[in-house]
């Protein structure tokens, strides 16, 4: 994760209410009054855009345009008011693999050996980028379970989401593409595309709640019903900071076909995250509950499915 140089943080933590020139990773430059400087973000007052909160991961540098008083004997005395942020060379320091993104890898493993043997392996990767004007969410999920060396669960999901943001408006527009493969569903794999508007219902230091609606196109392969189907989508996602080390993330999406409006399907997740470390490669514990409901299933199959797990999350 991109971070400020330690000594610069100590200097700037006491500086608020001064004019600042902020250079963003997108290439934009903002001149505004600095209101608040925390470990994770700057809060500024802009003459046209109003009050803005800018994540430090999106800032290349900023100048508070004020001299900073420091102790002469301290090394901090040699630091100017121009504060530079270390560059992010991307995943595995490759430079071109998700540079500037917040990257996380999740791993959960459980097993049992007694009269029968059971193994469950869950992996996920998430990469998020937000500069106030655009947001990217990219990632995958994979779950594999077997009992007595016979697969009982085997699925994979890949998704890409792009949001077009307006810094002075709660409205946004989004486009999402998703690929699902599942060995035990009535289809082999499924493609889904969604476009539509979103609206930020709540935004403060502890809670963000966003609602979305849009048009979804779904295509299933290897299914008895393999026609291209148009659906109405309604969804919500939230991020709630319970405390310094704890947060809760929730998301849900409801889909209903236009031809058979009552035959809904739902994808939901609820995650409780507890930070175990607070460093460059942060480690967290995550407790998750995933829920999926589908009106149309094969005879004898259940309409809904609950999955709950414990896993570890590494920031990369």
What would the pLDDT profile of 220-260 be if each residue is shown by its tens digit? 998 877 889 999 999 999 999 999 899 999 999 999 998 88
Highest mean pLDDT among 66-70, 82-86, 285-289: 285-289
Q: How far apart are CA 75 and CA 78, in angstroms?
A: 6
- Predicted local confidence at residue 254, as pLDDT: 95
Residue 161 banded pLDDT, cuts 50, 70, 90 = very high
Q: pLDDT band for position 209 (50/70/90)?
A: very high
Query: What is the pLDDT at residue 73?
Result: 38
Q: Which residue bears the tokens 């995550």?
A: 286
pTM of the entire predicted model: 0.69
The pLDDT of residue 108 is 94
Label residue 281 by pLDDT band (50, 70, 90): confident
The share of the chain scoring above pLDDT 70, in percent, equals: 81
Average pLDDT rounded to a whole number, residues 80-100: 62
| More confident of the two residues 36 and 5 | 36
> Which part of the chain has CATH 2.40.160.40?
92-315
Tell me, letter by letter, the H, E, C secondary structure of the chain. CCCECHHHHHHHCCCCCCEEEEEECCCCEEEEEEEEECCCEEEEEECCCEEEEEEHHHEEEEECCCCCCCCCCCHHHHCCCEEEECCCCCHHHCCCCCCCCEEEEEEEEEEEECCCEEEEEEEEEEEEEECCCEEEEEEEEEEEEEECCEEEEEEEEEEEEEEEECCCCCEEEEEEEEEEEECCCCCCEEEEEEEEEEEEEEECCCEEEEEEEEEEEEEEECCCCCCCEEEEEEEEEEEEECCCCEEEEEEEEEEEECCCCCCCEEEEEEEEEEECCCCCCCEEEEEEEEEEEECCCCCCCCCEEEEEEEEEEEEC
pLDDT, greater one: 55 or 67: 55
Give the C-alpha separation, 6 to 13, whole Å: 11
**Terminal Cα-to-Cα distance of the chain (whole angstroms):** 7
Q: Is the pLDDT of residue 121 over 80?
A: yes
Bigger pLDDT: 272 vs 62: 272
Closest CA to 174 of 215, 146, 113: 215
6-84 classified as CATH 3.10.350.10: no
- Predicted local confidence at residue 114, as pLDDT: 63
Q: Which CATH architecture has domain 92-315?
A: Beta Barrel (2.40)
- % the chain with pLDDT above 90: 46
Asked if 289 contacts 269 with a C-beta cutoff of 8 angstroms, the reply is yes
Q: Is the pLDDT of residue 292 over 70?
A: yes
Tokens of 12: 């700037």
* Matching residue, tokens 């607070």: 278
Domain(s) of CATH 2.30.30.100: residues in the chain: 6-84
Least-confidence region, from 70-79, 199-208, 257-266: 70-79
């Amino acid at each position: 994760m991109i971070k400020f140089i330690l000594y610069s943080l100590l200097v700037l933590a006491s500086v608020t209410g001064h004019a600042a020139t902020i250079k963003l990773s997108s290439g934009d430059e903002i001149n505004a009054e600095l209101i608040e400087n925390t470990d994770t973000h700057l809060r500024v007052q802009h003459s046209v855009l109003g009050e803005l909160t800018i994540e430090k991961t999106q800032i290349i540098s900023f100048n508070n345009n004020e001299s900073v008083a420091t102790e002469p004997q301290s090394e901090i005395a040699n630091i100017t008011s121009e504060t530079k942020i270390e560059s992010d060379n991307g995943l595995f320091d490759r430079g071109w693999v998700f540079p500037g993104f917040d990257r996380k890898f999740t791993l959960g493993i459980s097993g049992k050996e007694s009269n029968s043997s059971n193994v469950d392996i869950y992996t996920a990767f998430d990469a998020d980028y937000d500069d106030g004007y655009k947001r990217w969410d990219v990632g995958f999920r994979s779950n594999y379970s077997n009992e007595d060396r016979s697969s009982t669960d085997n699925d994979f999901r890949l998704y890409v989401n792009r949001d077009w943001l307006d810094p002075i408006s709660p409205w946004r527009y989004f486009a999402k593409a998703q690929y699902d493969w599942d060995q035990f569903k009535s289809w082999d794999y499924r493609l889904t595309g969604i476009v539509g508007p979103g609206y930020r219902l709540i935004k403060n230091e502890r809670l963000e709640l966003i609602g979305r609606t849009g048009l979804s196109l779904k295509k299933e392969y290897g299914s008895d019903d393999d026609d291209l189907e148009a659906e109405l989508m309604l969804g919500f996602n939230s991020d709630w900071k319970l405390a310094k080390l704890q947060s809760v993330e929730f998301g849900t999406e409801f889909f209903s076909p236009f031809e058979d409006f009552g035959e809904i399907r739902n994808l939901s997740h609820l995650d409780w995250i507890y930070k175990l470390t607070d460093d460059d490669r942060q480690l967290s514990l995550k407790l998750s509950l995933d829920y999926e409901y589908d009106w149309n299933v094969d005879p004898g199959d259940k309409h809904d499915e609950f999955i709950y797990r414990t896993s570890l999350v590494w920031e990369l």
